[in-house]
Amino acid sequence: MTSAPEPKFSEPWHAQVFALTVVLNEAGHFDWPDWATRFGATLKRHGLDKELDGGDDYFTAWLETLEHYLASMGMAETQDVLTAKAAWEAAYLSAPHGAPVRLAD
């Protein structure tokens, strides 16, 4: 009997932020070597020099790098990102358990 393969990402948002980064790269918005340099700098700044398993600390640093990179290119202003995060937080905190999370109009 063959066991099911282990998931590649431990959380859905890890896969989503990874996929978004890949799509932006493939669409020509930035070069992967530049991305890797910026991501490496974020990991170093966070002191994440241990072997990472792709958990929250790794993908939080990944997301931070992407947010800063997009802001530096004028694709996602920092205040707009903060506003969107606050709106999503309010939405999920007010959604009943198990109900879909929806942003207010």
Per-residue confidence in pLDDT tens, the chain, 105 aa = 566 666 678 888 899 999 999 999 999 999 999 999 999 999 888 876 555 666 788 899 999 999 999 999 999 888 888 888 888 888 888 888 888 888 877
Give the number of other Cβ atoms within 10 Å of residue 55's Cβ.
12
pLDDT for residue 3? 66
pLDDT for residue 2? 63
pLDDT for residue 1? 56
pLDDT for residue 54? 67
Q: What are phi and psi of 3, to 5 degrees?
A: -85, 155
Residue 77 to residue 99: CA distance in whole angstroms: 30
Structure tokens at 55: 């958990």
pLDDT for residue 32? 96
pLDDT for residue 102? 87
User: What residue segments make up the domains of the chain, in order of their start?
Assistant: 31-46+56-94
Alpha helices in the chain (DSSP H): 12-26, 32-45, 56-72, 78-94
Contact 58, 52 (CB under 8 A): yes
